[in-house]
């Protein structure tokens, strides 16, 4: 698996996101916090799968990762709208997710160019 910045950026996102979501109100830790954590972890798993596969399997894993990233964006926006993330926290995480999205898009485009 080639090392790409997307792997380290996603790892950094997870190391910030997991402790942050554990500070959500108790009734939301098992609903929204869990959904955010599971979606982010699933996204990382899809990247690993894509990095270890070739051809159609790699493309499929990247498409699924793109779907997971879209879900994560939705959950994070919901967290912010419900007041579980402060505006500066949301800005921070939204910038990181946008950067990861650009890296993912670049990876997908590089496969199409082959």
How much is the average pLDDT of 94-114?
Answer: 94
Q: Which CATH number fits domain 5-113: 3.40.50.11900, 3.40.640.10, 1.10.760.10, 1.20.1440.60?
A: 1.20.1440.60
Give the separation between CA 35 and CA 43, rounded to whole angstroms: 12
Task: Identify the pLDDT of residue 58.
Answer: 94
Angle in degrees, 0-180, between the axes of helices 55-81 and 32-52, rounded to the nearest 10 = 160
Residue 2 has pLDDT above 80, yes or no: no
Is 114 exposed, middle or buried (CB count within 10 Å of its CB: 0-12, 13-18, 19+)? Answer: exposed
pTM to 2 decimal places:
0.93
Give the separation between CA 83 and CA 89, rounded to whole angstroms: 11
Tens digit of each residue's pLDDT (9 = 90 or more) over 39-84: 999 999 999 999 999 888 999 999 999 999 999 999 999 999 999 9
The full set of domain ranges for the chain reads 5-113
Buried b (16+ CB within 10 A) or exposed e, 13-30: beeebeebbeebeeebee
What is the rounded average pLDDT for all residues in the chain? Answer: 94
Residue 25 has pLDDT above 80, yes or no: yes
99 Cβ neighbours under 8 A, 6+ residues apart: 9
For 77, list phi and psi in degrees, rounded to 5.
-65, -40
For 106, list phi and psi in degrees, rounded to 5.
-65, -40
């Amino acid at each position: 698996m080639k090392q790409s910045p997307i792997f380290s950026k996603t790892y950094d996102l997870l190391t910030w996101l997991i402790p942050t979501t554990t500070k959500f109100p108790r009734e939301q830790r098992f609903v929204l916090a869990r959904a955010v954590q599971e979606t982010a972890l699933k996204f990382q798993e899809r990247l690993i799968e894509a990095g270890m596969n070739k051809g159609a399997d790699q493309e499929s894993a990247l498409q699924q990762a793109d779907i997971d990233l879209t879900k994560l964006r939705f959950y994070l926006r919901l967290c912010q709208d419900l007041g579980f993330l402060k505006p500066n926290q949301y800005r921070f995480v939204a910038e990181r997710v946008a950067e990861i999205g650009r890296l993912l898009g670049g990876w997908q485009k590089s496969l199409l160019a082959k």
